[in-house]
Amino acid sequence: MKKVELLAPAGSLAKLKTAIFFGADAVYCGGLNFGLRAGADNFTIAELKAGIEFAHQKDKKVYMTLNMIPHNQELAKLPDYLNQIKELQLDALIISDPGVLSLVKKSMPEMEIHISTQANNVNWAAALFWAEQGADRIILARELGKTEINEITAKTKNQAEIEVFVHGAMCISYSGRCLLSNYLVGRDANKGDCAQSCRWQYHLVEAKRPGEYYPIVENEQGTFIMNSRDLNLAEEIPELIEAGVSSLKIEGRMKSIHYTATVVNTYRQLIDGYYADPAHYQPDPDLLAELTKISHRDYTKGFYYGKPGSDGQRYQSSSYVRSYDFMGVIRDYDLKKAEILVEVRNKIFTGDQLEIITPGRKSFTIRVDYLIDQASDQQIETAPHPKQLVRIPAPDFIKPGSLLRRIKEDQ
């Protein structure tokens, strides 16, 4: 059985390295043009080259998004952009528009092609159509249930790989095609500039009664009628693998390094746990709990078990659940002193209990018995400055690149 790919988001070069460090088999990222995450840091040509070299040294892959739906004036710029990226040794391009596919095939005939979820891939005939046009992989729409996924993988076997989203934000639109943001604030979601208008607070007001609000849902904050919960299919990993899905995709190019590390590390261990003993596999509850420690909205299974209906939305608030703070990155481990060198992100105090996120292991806790400022070599009570380097005792070896977090005080 070919092992399923774990595909992670890379909104920046640092996030690319984090995803690979924590166990991703491949990452997807966007260049400065033609992607659908205009708000992400995205990659210059030089950064793409550096990221690809880093990934290939680790025997991992890099896919780049060209899944914007371009108008004529934008399409005219595509040939020059393709000339810039054709020597980069990308492993695949993610495309949604037939015109873009046609130009890519002419300019880069050997390039592997993945058809974006933006192309609304909801049936096996569409998947086979794209395969006939030279696509190597089809990224399915998130509006599909497990029976539909099973039928698509069965009928496309040996024709094209199938990729499925398993974790991350859901969109109120149909597979990402939405005009609400464009209509309300002139920001086009189909060109990567979504304002997430669906998550705003809305009230019902009668034209001749300004200021008199009629609640759609009894809530003093208004209503969040289009505020989808986040997707979480961690428990469905065995079914997806057995269905013949080739790649399990995590959403979140605009999320934090802490999000990337935690989600990738969790799915990596769950996938590996399944392959270690498929017949007796049960998802580890401790690993599933890790997914509640990142910034997220309440979770849903999406369309996997049928149309979610009202249970797929969160009506009380559009805010995230944030139960932990990201505290720092471990830059080194001193075996002789049994200390970690930490680059601070949030204020650390002597006496803190910090959780460690490290590749291939469940998170575990250490106590900050003392803090030593690296620059002055003096003991301090608190490390208040972002990017400050401090030393903290750690009895066991902890891999550099691991992260620290702390439960919020109000939890």
Domain range annotation of the chain: 5-173+228-312, 324-407
Q: Which of 189, 206, 190, 207 is nearest to 198 (CA)?
A: 189
- Decide if 95 contacts 104 (C-beta within 8 A): yes
Is residue 138 within 8 A of residue 156, CB to CB? The reply is yes
Q: How far is CA 309 from CA 42, 228, 298, 300, 305, in A?
A: 34, 10, 15, 11, 11
Residue 328: its H or E element:
strand 324-334
Count CB neighbours of 148 within 10 A: 17
Are 48 and 27 in contact by the 8 Å Cβ rule? The answer is no
* Element holding 114 (H helix, E strand): strand 113-115
pLDDT of res. 191 = 65
Ranges of the chain with pLDDT below 50: 218-223
One-letter amino acid for residue 278 of the chain: P
Q: Is 382 left (phi over 0), alpha (psi -120 to 50) or beta?
A: beta
pLDDT of residue 185: 82
Name, in order, each residue with C-beta under 8 angstroms of 377's C-beta and a sequence gap of 6 or more.
none
Handedness of CA 115, 164, 311, 232 (dihedral sign): negative
Q: What is the model's pLDDT at position 354?
A: 97
Distances (CA, A) of 353 to 176, 360, 406: 41, 21, 7
Give the pLDDT of residue 221.
47
pLDDT for the residue numbered 33: 72
pLDDT for position 207: 77
Q: Which CATH number describes the domain made up of 5-173+228-312?
A: 3.20.20.70
pTM for this prediction: 0.86
Q: Give the pLDDT score at 218.
A: 45
Same fold, 5-173+228-312 and 324-407: no
Domain range 324-407, CATH architecture: Beta Barrel (2.40)
pLDDT at 389: 98
248-284 pLDDT, tens digit per residue, is: 999 988 899 999 999 999 999 999 999 999 999 999 9
Structure tokens of 90? Answer: 């990308």
The 3-state secondary structure of 206-247, one letter per residue: CCCCCCCEECCCCCCCCECCCCECEEECHHHHHHHHHHCCCE
